[in-house]
Amino acid sequence: MGKQEGKSLYERLGGIGGITTIVDDIVENHMSNPAINKRFLPLKDDPEHFAAVRQHLINFLAAGSGGPEHYTGKDMLSSHKGMNISQGEYMHTIDDIMKALAKNNIDEQTQKDVLAIAYSLKSDIAGV
């Protein structure tokens, strides 16, 4: 039996500390990814909005992975509607997420579980 078996996704991601680090790495990946950074770099000009978006991302991932945190932001469709995110941009965000998970030594099965969740949200994010 693997050491991760029986643990929640939240636990496998390292709890709130691990998730916070992963989100910070995802955001940094997005900021430095030339295919999508135009959507994220403007956040640096508004530190208050950036902090709110960052906290929403942390809470979304924490709550969605079984943690005790509460996500109070908009649903995915409402928050992405009108942004016209292309399929290619969506795939770049997925790549950035996977890079952040790998950087934080998240095991392969947990990466697959996160990937499955990300793909389940695709229709509420890309092309809306």
Query: At 2, is the pLDDT very low, low, confident or very high (cuts 50, 70, 90)?
Result: low
Q: What is the pLDDT of residue 1?
A: 45
- CA 49/CA 35 separation, integer angstroms: 22
Amino acid at 115: L
- CA 65/CA 10 separation, integer angstroms: 5
Concatenated DSSP letters for the chain?
Answer: --TTTT--HHHHTTHHHHHHHHHHHHHHHHHH-TTTHHHHGGGGG-HHHHHHHHHHHHHHHHHHTT-S----S--HHHHHTTS-B-HHHHHHHHHHHHHHHHHTT--HHHHHHHHHHHHHTGGGTBT-
- CA 81/CA 70 separation, integer angstroms: 22
Per-residue pLDDT tens over the stretch 26-53: 999 999 999 999 999 998 899 999 999 9
> Taking the C-alpha atoms of 76, 78, 83 and 87 in order, what is their torsion angle to the nearest 10 degrees?
40
Per-residue pLDDT tens over the stretch 79-121: 889 888 999 999 999 999 999 999 999 999 999 999 999 999 9
